[in-house]
Amino acid sequence: MSEMACDKHKETFVLNMGPQHPATHGVLRVKLVMDGEYIVEAEPVLGYIHRMHEKMGENRTWAQFMPNMGRLDYLGALSYNHGYAAAVERAAGIAVPERAEYIRVMTVELNRISSHLLWMGAYLLDLGGFTPLLYAFDDREKILDMLERVTGSRLTYCYFRFGGLYNDVDDQFLAEAKGFVARLRSRLPMYHTLVTKNVILMQRLKGIGVIDADMCRRYGVTGPVARGSGLNYDVRKNEPYSVYPQFDFDVPVYTEGDSMARYMVRMDEIEQSLRIVEQAIDGLPDGPVMAEKVPKIVKPPKGDYYHAVEAARGSFGVRLVSNGTNTPYRMKLRSPTYSNLSLLAEVAKGVTVADAVAFMGSLDLVIPEIDR
């Protein structure tokens, strides 16, 4: 921490927000130098839930690392499954059957919706509104139930395999998913009446934590945060993977760069994800869900591979270095919120605690993913 903290003559004091604080959603610690209610300096301190996932990857086989992907971003675990599976498939040259890709996209988008719903609720909780959280959980519960039936777990999914899926979906899942799309479509106006249009919420979010596009580029910010600052970057569109090019969906972009813009991006993304899910259900092809020629022990040829996917919080990239054995030589996981969090130090300067909380919440932080 800087001299500011130690200077007795300046009337500042150090406030520890976290590692146990209701607004940090996990074990993030933010050291704040405060001048009264105003923040002079903010410094995020990481490492409280560091589990060495990257090192673990170097010590187990390619397939054995799969369960770890559910433990990074536990709210959008399927995107991470997808990112890792796709990276290894690219490395080993495994082609995935189309039905499997469709189901991957469908479940990933459902997972994205559940993640955004939870974010919306938790964000409102940060802002002091309790009820939207429970309403969002009501909807999210439906997604969890559906995914539980298919994948066998509710949160830390381990559903994708190299070359396809662990299990096929059944008709009941498709019917439920269809029903859910209709249900959430009818519920979204309620969220907008209760939350989005609320004058208190607008007053708390508009003009708070403004990030411009240039700053996003400097920090490598991706996902809804970048799209809220006018950067039209979505991995699904810019570096298309899987079967995303076959779907018709928009990338919501807002140029204001404030917390409200980020909020609106996520709310609009829910609608777009619903569109994708709907199209995926309608166009789901028949066929196997597992590629035929997947070697029992995957050994990607020597080389350096990278694959990025659009997770709920931004671009998640897996960089694999293979030396041709059954364990990775190096596994680098690029997690979006790590970059997004680094904005905090710059943006939080000179704002009040309440606004810093409103800004931090709008970044949608998931701490285990930052620390890995």
CB-CB contact of 107 with 159 (8 Å): yes
Look at the block and give the residue holding tokens 């004058």: 199
Q: Between 195 and 370, whose beta carbon lies closer to another protein? A: 195
Closest by CA position to 328, among listed 92, 128, 13, 167: 92
Rounded-to-integer distance, Cα 69 and Cα 82, Å? 9
Question: Which residue type sits at 360?
Answer: M
DSSP helix/strand/coil, 42: strand
Rounded-to-integer distance, Cα 300 and Cα 271, Å? 38
b/e for 118-153, b at 16 or more Cβ within 10 A?
A: bbbbbbbbbbebeebbebbbebbebbbebbeebbee
Q: Between 221 and 267, whose beta carbon lies closer to another protein? A: 267
Q: Between 65 and 305, whose beta carbon lies closer to another protein? A: 65
Q: Between 35 and 239, whose beta carbon lies closer to another protein? A: 35
DSSP helix/strand/coil, 5: helix
Q: Between 135 and 219, whose beta carbon lies closer to another protein? A: 135
Q: Between 177 and 216, whose beta carbon lies closer to another protein? A: 177
Q: Between 194 and 213, whose beta carbon lies closer to another protein? A: 194
Helices (H), the chain: 3-6, 53-57, 77-92, 98-126, 131-151, 171-191, 199-205, 213-219, 223-227, 235-238, 259-282, 336-341, 343-347, 353-362, 367-371
DSSP helix/strand/coil, 231: coil
Q: Between 128 and 285, whose beta carbon lies closer to another protein? A: 128
Beta strands 13-17 and 29-35, pairing class: antiparallel
Rounded to a whole number of angstroms, the minimum distance from the CB of residue 283 to another protein is: 25
Rounded to a whole number of angstroms, the minimum distance from the CB of residue 346 to another protein is: 20
Rounded to a whole number of angstroms, the minimum distance from the CB of residue 37 to another protein is: 6
Q: Between 124 and 308, whose beta carbon lies closer to another protein? A: 124
For the CA atoms of 227, 108, 106, 165, the dihedral, rounded to the nearest 10 degrees, stands at 150
Q: Between 122 and 253, whose beta carbon lies closer to another protein? A: 122
Whether the link from the prior residue into 97 is cis, omega within 30° of 0, is no
Closest by CA position to 85, among listed 283, 301, 241: 241
Rounded-to-integer distance, Cα 371 and Cα 16, Å? 19
**Contact footprint for another protein (CB under 8 A):** 13, 15, 21-23, 34, 36-37, 60, 63-68, 71, 124-131, 134-135, 138, 148-153, 156, 158, 166-167, 190, 193-195, 197-201, 203-204, 352-355, 357-358
CB-CB contact of 353 with 37 (8 Å): yes
Rounded to a whole number of angstroms, the minimum distance from the CB of residue 356 to another protein is: 8
> In Å, what is the CA distance from 365 to each residue of 135, 206, 221, 260, 299?
21, 20, 13, 16, 34
Rounded to a whole number of angstroms, the minimum distance from the CB of residue 314 to another protein is: 24
321, β-bridge pairs: 304, 330
